[in-house]
Structure 1
Amino acid sequence: MSLFHIMIFLPFIFAVFTPFIYKLVSPRIHTGWFVILVPLTVFLYLLQYIPTIANGSTIYQTVPWMPSLNINITTNIDGLALIFGLLITGVGTLVVLYSIYYMSKHREALHNFYVYMLLFMGAMLGLVFSDNILVLYVFWELTSISSFLLIAYWYQRKNSRYGAQKSMLITIFGGLAMLAGLIMLSMITDTYSIREMLSKVDLVTADSLFLPAMILLLIGAFTKSAQFPFSIWLPYAMEAPTPISAYLHSATMVKAGIYLVARFTPIFGGSSEWFWIVSGVGIITLIYGSINAVNQKDLKALLAYSTISQLGLIMCLLGLGSASMYFGHGDESTVYAYAVLAAMFHLINHSTFKGSLFMVVGIIDHETGTRDIRKLGGLMSLMPVSFTLTIIGSFAMAGLPPFNGFLSKEMFFTSVLTAAEHPVFGMKTFGLLIPVIAWIASVFTFIYCLILVFKTFTGKHRPEKLDKVVHEAPIGMLIPPIILALLVIIIFFFPNGVSKNFLQPALIAILPGFAETGGLDVTIKPWHGWNTELFMTIGVAGFGVIMYLYLKRWSFLYNFFPKALSLNHLYNQSIEGTENISLKVTNRYMTGHVRDYLVYIFGFMTLLLGSALWLSKEFSFTISNDADVTVYEGGIIVAMVISALTVLLSKSRLTAIIALGALGYLVSLFFVIFRAPDLALTQLVVETVTAALFLLCFYHLPELRKEISRVKFKATNLVISIGVGVIVTLLALASNNHRLFASISHFFEDSYTLAGAKNIVNAILVDFRGLDTMLEILVLCIAGLGVYTLIKLQLAGREKE
Structure 2
Amino acid sequence: MSLLHAAIVLPFILAAAMPLTKRLARRVHAGWFVLPVPLLLFVYFLGRLPDVQHGQQGISVLPWMPSLGVDFAVRLDGLSLLFALLISGIGSLVVLYSLFYLDKNKEAVHRFYVYLLMFMGAMLGVVLSDNMMVLYGFWELTSVSSFLLIAFWHRRERSLYGALKSMLITVFGGLALFSGFILLYVMTGTFSVSGIMSQAGLLADQALLVPAMLLILVGAFTKSAQFPFHIWLPDAMEAPTPVSAYLHSATMVKAGIYLVARLSPLFAGLTGWFWLVTGFGLVTLIYASYRAMKQTDLKALLAFSTISQLGLIMSLLGIGSAAAFYTGEEALFYTKATTAAIFHLINHAIFKGALFMVVGNVDHEAGTRDIRKLGGLMAFMPVTFTVALIGTFSMAGLPPFNGFLSKEMFFTGVLSVMELELWNLQTWGALVPAVAWIASICTFVYSMLLVFKTFTGKLKPDELDRKPHEAPLGMLIPPVVLGSLAVVFGLFPNVLSQTLIEPALSAVHPAVLAAGETFDVHISFWHGWTAEIFMTIGVVALGIVLYLLHGRVPVLHRPLTGRISINQVYDSGLELLDKGALKITGTYMTGSVRHYLLYIFSFMIVSLLVAFYAADGIRLNMAGFAPMSFYEGVVLLVLVLATLAVPFAHSRVTSIILTGAVGYAVSLFFVVFRAPDLALTQIIVETVSVTLFLLCFYHLPKLRKDRSSLKFRLPNLVISVGVGLVMTLIALAASGSRAFDSISDFFLAESYHLAGGRNVVNVILVDFRGFDTLLEIMVLGIASLAIYSLVRLSLDKDVNGLPPKNKRPGAGMFLAKSNDVILRTAARTGVVYIVMTFALYLFFAGHHEPGGGFIGALMTSGGLVLMLMAFGMKIVNKLVPVDYKKLIAIGLSVALLTGIGSFVFQVPFLTHAFGYFQLPLLGKTELATAVLFDLGVYLAVIGVTMNILLTIVRDE
Same fold (TM over 0.5): yes
Quote the residue 1:23 is aligned against. Answer: 23
Post-superposition offset of 1:680: 8.4
Partners of 2:676 and 2:698 lie apart in 1 by 33
Partners of 1:62 and 1:758 lie apart in 2 by 33
Partners of 1:326 and 1:248 lie apart in 2 by 35
Q: Describe the SS at the equivalent of 1:374.
A: coil
Matches for 1:132-147 after TM superposition, within 5 Å: 132-147=131-146
Q: Describe the SS at the equivalent of 2:284.
A: helix
Tell me, yes or no, if structure 1 residue 250 matches structure 2 residue 249: yes
Quote the residue 2:222 is aligned against. Answer: 223
Partners of 1:425 and 1:400 lie apart in 2 by 34
Larger deviation, residues 533-542 vs 631-640: 631-640
CA contact (8 A) 1:504 1:518 kept: no
What is the number of residues matched between the two proteins?
796
Post-superposition offset of 1:614: 3.5
Matches for 1:45-56 after TM superposition, within 5 Å: 45-56=44-55
Larger deviation, residues 700-709 vs 724-733: 700-709
Partners of 2:858 and 2:8 lie apart in 1 by 37
Partners of 1:183 and 1:352 lie apart in 2 by 36
Post-superposition offset of 1:126: 2.6
Tell me, yes or no, if structure 1 residue 14 matches structure 2 residue 93: no
Name the amino acid aligned to 2:857.
Answer: L
Tell me, yes or no, if structure 1 residue 295 matches structure 2 residue 374: no
CA contact (8 A) 1:22 1:111 kept: yes
Post-superposition offset of 1:262: 0.8
Post-superposition offset of 1:709: 6.6
Partners of 1:419 and 1:305 lie apart in 2 by 26
CA contact (8 A) 1:369 1:467 kept: yes
Post-superposition offset of 1:512: 0.3
**Residues 431 and 782 of structure 1, relative CA distance in 2, 3 Å threshold:** farther
Name the amino acid aligned to 2:26.
Answer: S
Partners of 2:338 and 2:862 lie apart in 1 by 61
Matches for 1:632-647 after TM superposition, within 5 Å: none
Name the amino acid aligned to 1:154.
Answer: W
Quote the residue 2:259 is aligned against. Answer: 260
Larger deviation, residues 34-43 vs 702-711: 702-711
CA contact (8 A) 1:619 1:730 kept: no
**Residues 202 and 722 of structure 1, relative CA distance in 2, 3 Å threshold:** farther
Quote the residue 1:339 is aligned against. Answer: 337
CA contact (8 A) 1:651 1:709 kept: no
Partners of 2:381 and 2:692 lie apart in 1 by 76
Partners of 2:11 and 2:748 lie apart in 1 by 49
Post-superposition offset of 1:79: 1.1
Quote the residue 2:790 is aligned against. Answer: none
Post-superposition offset of 1:244: 1.7
Tell me, yes or no, if structure 1 residue 778 matches structure 2 residue 857: yes
Quote the residue 2:321 is aligned against. Answer: 322
**Residues 564 and 733 of structure 1, relative CA distance in 2, 3 Å threshold:** farther
| CA distances 1:590-638 after superposition (whole Å, capped 9, x unpaired) | 3232321121011111222233334444544465x53487899999999
Name the amino acid aligned to 1:543.
Answer: L
**Residues 203 and 670 of structure 1, relative CA distance in 2, 3 Å threshold:** same
Post-superposition offset of 1:374: 0.8
**Residues 585 and 40 of structure 1, relative CA distance in 2, 3 Å threshold:** same
Partners of 2:488 and 2:509 lie apart in 1 by 28
Q: Give aligned-pair identity as a percent.
A: 53
| CA distances 1:667-700 after superposition (whole Å, capped 9, x unpaired) | 8898798777997899899999999999999999
Partners of 2:684 and 2:354 lie apart in 1 by 71
Matches for 1:601-640 after TM superposition, within 5 Å: 601-621=600-620, 623=622, 626-627=624-625
Post-superposition offset of 1:660: 8.6
Task: Using structure 1 for the length normalisation, give the TM-score.
Answer: 0.87
Partners of 1:549 and 1:74 lie apart in 2 by 55
Quote the residue 1:201 is aligned against. Answer: 200
Post-superposition offset of 1:228: 1.7
CA contact (8 A) 1:344 1:506 kept: yes
Tell me, yes or no, if structure 1 residue 555 matches structure 2 residue 554: yes
Matches for 1:709-748 after TM superposition, within 5 Å: 711-712=710-711, 716-747=715-746
Larger deviation, residues 445-454 vs 741-750: 741-750
Post-superposition offset of 1:309: 0.6
Q: Describe the SS at the equivalent of 2:59.
A: strand
Q: Describe the SS at the equivalent of 2:520.
A: coil
Quote the residue 2:352 is aligned against. Answer: 354
**Residues 396 and 790 of structure 1, relative CA distance in 2, 3 Å threshold:** farther
CA contact (8 A) 1:353 1:393 kept: yes
Quote the residue 2:372 is aligned against. Answer: 374
Q: Describe the SS at the equivalent of 1:311.
A: helix
**Residues 219 and 308 of structure 1, relative CA distance in 2, 3 Å threshold:** same
Partners of 1:32 and 1:627 lie apart in 2 by 68
Quote the residue 1:363 is aligned against. Answer: 361
Larger deviation, residues 194-203 vs 513-522: 513-522
Partners of 1:20 and 1:685 lie apart in 2 by 35
Quote the residue 1:390 is aligned against. Answer: 388
**Residues 310 and 675 of structure 1, relative CA distance in 2, 3 Å threshold:** closer
CA contact (8 A) 2:676 2:850 kept: no
| CA distances 1:4-44 after superposition (whole Å, capped 9, x unpaired) | 443443333333444444532432x4443443222222222
| CA distances 1:464-499 after superposition (whole Å, capped 9, x unpaired) | 111221222233322222221222122222222312
Q: Describe the SS at the equivalent of 1:76.
A: strand
| CA distances 1:709-746 after superposition (whole Å, capped 9, x unpaired) | 75546554454344434433443343333312212344
Post-superposition offset of 1:428: 5.8
Post-superposition offset of 1:314: 0.5
Q: Describe the SS at the equivalent of 1:74.
A: strand
**Residues 772 and 527 of structure 1, relative CA distance in 2, 3 Å threshold:** farther
Q: Describe the SS at the equivalent of 1:197.
A: helix
Partners of 1:545 and 1:138 lie apart in 2 by 47
CA contact (8 A) 1:30 1:105 kept: yes
Name the amino acid aligned to 1:146.
Answer: S
Tell me, yes or no, if structure 1 residue 212 matches structure 2 residue 211: yes
Post-superposition offset of 1:197: 1.7
Quote the residue 2:42 is aligned against. Answer: 43
Larger deviation, residues 59-68 vs 240-249: 59-68
CA contact (8 A) 2:112 2:152 kept: yes
Tell me, yes or no, if structure 1 residue 82 matches structure 2 residue 81: yes
Partners of 1:21 and 1:697 lie apart in 2 by 38
Quote the residue 1:453 is aligned against. Answer: 451
Quote the residue 1:464 is aligned against. Answer: 462
Q: Describe the SS at the equivalent of 2:252.
A: coil
Partners of 1:24 and 1:294 lie apart in 2 by 47
Quote the residue 2:932 is aligned against. Answer: none
CA contact (8 A) 1:647 1:660 kept: no
**Residues 684 and 510 of structure 1, relative CA distance in 2, 3 Å threshold:** closer
Partners of 1:199 and 1:68 lie apart in 2 by 21
| CA distances 1:551-592 after superposition (whole Å, capped 9, x unpaired) | 234335776855552222222222222332333333322323
Quote the residue 1:313 is aligned against. Answer: 312
Quote the residue 2:588 is aligned against. Answer: 589
Consecutive unaligned residues of structure 1, counting only runs of 5 or more, are none
| CA distances 1:631-683 after superposition (whole Å, capped 9, x unpaired) | 99999999899979977997989999999999889988987987779978998
CA contact (8 A) 1:644 1:659 kept: yes
**Residues 646 and 178 of structure 1, relative CA distance in 2, 3 Å threshold:** same
**Residues 780 and 186 of structure 1, relative CA distance in 2, 3 Å threshold:** farther
Name the amino acid aligned to 1:45.
Answer: Y
Partners of 2:10 and 2:18 lie apart in 1 by 12
Post-superposition offset of 1:748: 6.1
Matches for 1:466-485 after TM superposition, within 5 Å: 466-485=464-483
CA contact (8 A) 1:56 1:518 kept: no
Post-superposition offset of 1:235: 1.2
Partners of 1:12 and 1:274 lie apart in 2 by 36
Matches for 1:374-523 after TM superposition, within 5 Å: 374-425=372-423, 427=425, 431-516=429-514, 518-523=517-522
Tell me, yes or no, if structure 1 residue 156 matches structure 2 residue 235: no
Partners of 2:336 and 2:270 lie apart in 1 by 18
